[in-house]
């Protein structure tokens, strides 16, 4: 057995603040990184070109970080259940390290790989890294997982948080015999998104990689975090961090992110600023809440959490769904948000809630259609956050007050009062009076002249219909 350790990267595309990588490096063995392009993930129909392009960009920057440290990042392609053990046995690695994940697919895959490696006497070292608290750490007094956010937050926020981890990546190279053995498991050059079958021109101009994410975090903590409480709800303002893709792919360590919030807190005495920082910390806790929920209740990935909503009589209408997808519902705030998603692969959180409510409560279409469409478009698409957001909006999830219906007009009046966001994404409305846009009073003739659709449903009618259906479902109300 050689002194070689493989560190398998998955959603931890960095060499800093990495618990497992630090452990591997502390053994004094050679540490080589590996990333496997998993065909099952890349060929399923819930992949967004934006996400693949961002992933490839992050891998390029990760490979560069390995190279700078005098080490190597290998790329393989295929089924990781086959490829990771094959690579490890071919290189006679003494151990494979990776970080645990909460997603059901990852857990099944990892168990199978661990079993194979152990059967070849290759050590397996796993640890939790993507969360501040492992999913089994924050439980109720009865040692049960939380299903309500507020008590989860109280418990979660009262715990001390781990500090960023220092990683000393040693210079490590494959030896001549190992390189020649690699013919059995061909490694590949880093493909482009196009090589993988995806085309994305990055209209969001989001720079991939750890350095870019660190700069974003610093800028946010010096710029907007103090006003976050106030500004986060206005989609026309860049008042949020824009870190969701970096957090999804672990381009930045969660401990580093938390430490930045503590530093920002220490630098201010203003109550408003402290409220902003706390509210942003609460968003990080939402991320962890939904991840621990997916870990403990993997069936969330398949359908409603609430039994009563498992067979809700959704009125799935393909034409209405298409209109929603294209941003042609005749509801300006909904259309602006959907066009933002279609054009740049990202949507503001307030708008995610508005369009999700509209799809489920106004169009009465199954939330899983929307969940999937989001995954096909979002640069930050993430099973647990997306599922949690959709189930919350659909009244099917972990929410003590589940029946929430957003009025798209009052939402627009409150959160886009000058219709700036609407006009940015729905240019046909540029010269239409703000009041007409916000109150849904654009005359039909004007709609016809500017080529903007009339509302495809009437909010008040659909709201009543949804409430009737909801009341008719046993156990829902
Ligand atoms: P910030 O406001 O700066 O928040 C900081 C970080 O906290 C985010 O980057 C994210 O990691 C986390 N976060 C914030 N809000 C939430 C939340 N409600 N749930 C879980 N984590 C949160 N987020 C995703 O990362 N991926 C998704 O696929 C996703 N789908 C969503 C679908 C719906 C229907 C809804 C309502 C929300 C969804 N969210 C999702 C949550 C949220 O909209 C995004 O995390 C946020 O808009 C990303 O922008 P930001 O990084 O500027 O966020």
Give the strand order in the sheet containing 4-8. Answer: 73-78, 30-38, 4-8, 95-99, 123-127
The answer on whether 381 is annotated among ligand-binding residues is yes
Tell me the pairing of strands 4-8 and 73-78: unpaired
At residue 98, the 3 state secondary structure works out as strand
CATH class of 131-163+210-296: mainly alpha
Angle at 366 between CA 290 and CA 101, to 5 degrees: 25
Q: Hey, how many other C-beta atoms are within 10 angstroms of the C-beta on 126?
A: 15
What mean pLDDT do residues 112-136 have?
98
- For tokens 């393989």, what's the residue? 76
| pLDDT tens, position by position, 439-459 | 999 999 999 999 999 999 999
3-state DSSP: the chain helix, strand, coil percent, rounded to 5?
A: 55, 5, 40
Given the CA of residue 383, which atom of ligand 1 is nearest to it?
Answer: 28
Residue 211 contacts by C-beta under 8 Å, 6 or more apart in sequence? 61
- Residue 421: burial class (beta carbons within 10 Å; 0-12, 13-18, 19+): buried
Distance set, CA 365 to CA 346, 360, 361, 384, 390 (Å): 22, 5, 8, 21, 12
- Asked if the domains at 1-129 and 307-476 fall in one CATH topology, the answer is no
Task: Determine whether 283 is an active site residue.
Answer: yes
| pLDDT tens, position by position, 313-339 | 999 999 999 999 999 999 999 999 999
Spatial distance between the Cα atoms of 356 and 371, rounded to a whole number of angstroms? 9
Sign of the four-CA dihedral 223, 225, 226, 232: positive
| pLDDT tens, position by position, 205-253 | 999 999 999 999 999 999 899 999 999 999 999 999 999 999 999 999 9
The full set of domain ranges for the chain reads 1-129, 131-163+210-296, 307-476
CATH class of 1-129: alpha beta
pTM as predicted: 0.97
Does the pLDDT at position 278 exceed 90?
yes
* ipTM of the complex, rounded to two decimals: 0.99
Does the pLDDT at position 202 exceed 80?
yes
User: Ligand 1: residues within 6 Å at CB?
Assistant: 232, 240-244, 247-248, 283-284, 286-287, 290, 349, 352-353, 356, 374, 378, 380-382, 385-386, 388-390, 393
The CATH homologous superfamily of the domain defined by 307-476: DNA Cyclobutane Dipyrimidine Photolyase, subunit A, domain 3 (1.10.579.10)
CA of 243 to the centre of ligand 1 (A): 9
Q: Tell the residue nearest (CA) to atom 9 of ligand 1.
A: 244
The answer on whether 228 is annotated among ligand-binding residues is yes
């Amino acid at each position: 057995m050689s002194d070689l350790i493989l560190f398998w990267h998955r959603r931890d595309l960095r060499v800093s603040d990495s618990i497992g990588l630090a452990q591997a490096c502390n053994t004094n063995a050679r540490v080589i990184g590996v990333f496997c392009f998993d065909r099952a993930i890349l060929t399923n129909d819930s992949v967004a070109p934006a996400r693949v392009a961002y992933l490839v960009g992050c891998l390029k920057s990760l490979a560069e970080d390995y190279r700078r440290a005098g080490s190597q990042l290998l790329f393989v392609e295929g089924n990781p259940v086959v490829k990771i053990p094959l690579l490890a046995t071919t290189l006679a690695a003494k151990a494979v390290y990776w970080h645990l994940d909460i997603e059901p697919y990852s857990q099944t895959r990892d168990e199978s790989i661990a079993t194979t490696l152990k059967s070849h006497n290759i050590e397996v070292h796993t640890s939790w890294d993507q969360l501040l608290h492992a999913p089994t750490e924050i439980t109720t007094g009865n040692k049960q997982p939380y299903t309500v956010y507020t008590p989860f937050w109280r418990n979660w926020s009262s715990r001390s948080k781990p500090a960023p981890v220092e990683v000393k990546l040693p210079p490590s190279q494959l030896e001549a015999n190992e390189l020649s053995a690699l013919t059995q498991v061909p490694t590949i050059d880093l493909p482009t998104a196009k090589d993988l079958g995806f085309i994305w021109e990055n209209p969001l101009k989001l720079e991939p990689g750890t350095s870019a994410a660190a700069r974003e975090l610093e800028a946010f903590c010096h710029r907007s975090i103090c006003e976050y409480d106030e500004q986060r709800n206005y989609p026309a303002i860049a008042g949020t961090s824009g870190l969701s893709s970096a957090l999804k792919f672990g381009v930045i360590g969660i401990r580093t992110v938390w430490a930045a919030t503590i530093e920002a807190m220490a630098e201010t005495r203003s109550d408003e600023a402290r409220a902003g920082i706390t509210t942003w910390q609460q968003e990080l806790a939402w991320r962890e809440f939904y991840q621990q929920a997916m870990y403990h209740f993997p069936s969330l990935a398949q359908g409603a959490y609430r039994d009563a909503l498992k067979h809700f009589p959704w009125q799935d209408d393909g034409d209405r769904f298409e209109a929603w997808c294209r941003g042609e519902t005749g509801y300006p705030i909904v259309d602006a948000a959907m066009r933002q998603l279609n054009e740049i692969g990202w949507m503001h959180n307030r708008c995610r809630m508005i369009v999700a409510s509209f799809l489920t409560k106004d169009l009465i279409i199954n939330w899983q259609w929307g969940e999937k469409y989001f995954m096909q478009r979002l640069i930050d698409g993430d099973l647990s956050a997306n599922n949690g957001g959709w189930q919350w909006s659909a009244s099917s999830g972990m929410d003590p007050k589940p029946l929430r219906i957003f009025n798209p007009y009052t939402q627009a009046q409150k959160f886009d009062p000058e219709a700036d966001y609407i006009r940015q994404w729905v240019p046909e409305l540029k010269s239409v009076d703000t009041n007409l846009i916000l109150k849904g009073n654009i005359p039909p003739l004007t709609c016809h002249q500017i080529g903007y659709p009339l509302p495809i449903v009437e909010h008040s009618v659909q709201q009543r219909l949804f409430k009737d259906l909801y009341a008719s479902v046993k156990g829902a109300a």
